[in-house]
Amino acid sequence: MADWQKITGGITAPRGYQAAGITAGLKPSGLPDLALIFSEVEAIAAGVFTTSQVKAACVEYCRQRLQTKQSARAILCNAGQANAATGTQGYLDTLESALAIAQALNISSESVLLASTGVIGQRIKMDALRSGIPKVVAALSETGSDAAAGAIITTDLVTKSIALETTIGDRPVRIGGIAKGSGMIHPNMATMLAFVTCDAVVSPALWQQMLARAADRSFNSITVDGDTSTNDSLIALANGQSRTPAITEVGVEAEKLEAMLTAVCQHLAKAIARDGEGATCLIEVEVTGAHDELSARQIAKTIAGSSLVKSAIFGRDPNWGRIAAAAGRAGVPFEQENLQIKLGNFLMLENGQPLTFDRAAASAYLKKAAVGAYLQQDTVLISVNVGNGYGVGKAWGCDLSYDYVRINAEYTT
């Protein structure tokens, strides 16, 4: 059983945080497009960002900020323009954004982190941003998580939010998070933004290490379409307002905090994968028997990212051969005669040998997931065993439908 419980409140569930989301006129649609997360005190800050060589200005800015100062009080996120591949002026816009929100909050610009999402090649609409900043600061609230979650989305169909609570040192500790992402989703990382708040007291180095591991087991283990974004950002704050004993080294309390952080990230990651553009179900792939966790995750990610596997799931076709082929090309050595494949409860391959199974029932299992309750009965489970090793890994994806092409064919038109 998990050593925590789900609570309400999202990113403002932890103590000492406020959030807001408003319409500033950045999106052509007129929907909310400017979000702010604010800690009442300086918070330890950690981040994981895209590995793409083409990085948005906000990513370069945050990387530099966190190298010189591992703390922050505010995260400002605009939606509508990615401000990626916008040259020197795009970076100057980023610096101006940080200074403007810092002045409005009466804090140092060095305590500001930034994120952007939207169309690549488009600068932020600075006039709209400038006029929106006083409004988003005025809207800050201890119940503003939902508004912030709604202001960071683009093609998402639903907002993504969670909060968990555990006990450390006989006091409650909370972690909350919001995220956005629906397309351009692939490991390392994917058009996704995720913001996490925590009220524990934790050292900067340990918090960064925890976040990096949590990212590997969540956001770096999801895929929608094989495309990695220019703007991927996962930023986590820990402001110490729980007044618990400081966590400065590996131990029981650190493990508990990291496990809850990982659970928050995995929930948000699965929500992103399920909300993949045009998707009708979530795909969860679990690989066992590998040499180590990294190898198991690599096989799982390859299967979850296979266009042929994803298309078969959308067609409700229990074509296990595509799963076997994806596992075989993952770049991880294993003996073919050890391979086992299950789709839900249907055993299809055992010791490398095909088995007879009820194809109609297996297809019905896929159809049922397509109409199942969100993040509950809408998951297709693929289980793969590759040997006798101790490595276990999971990855998440979604099916590939006709609508994915339609959505992305018309993205800027």
Could you list the active site residues? 191
- DSSP labels for 174-218? EEEEEEE-SSSB-SS-BS-EEEEEE-S-B-HHHHHHHHHHHHHTT
Residue 261: enclosing H or E segment and its boundaries?
Answer: helix 252-274
- DSSP labels for 126-166? HHHHHHHHHHHHHT-BTT-HHHHHHHS-SS-SS-EEEEEEE
CA dist 288 and 270 (Å) reads: 20
Report the DSSP pairing between strands 34-49 and 17-22: antiparallel
Token pair of 61 as six digits: 């800015």
Contact 264, 196 (CB under 8 A): yes
- Residue 339: partners with Cβ closer than 8 Å, 6 or more residues away: 324, 327, 349, 351, 352, 384, 385, 386
CA dist 263 and 269 (Å) reads: 10
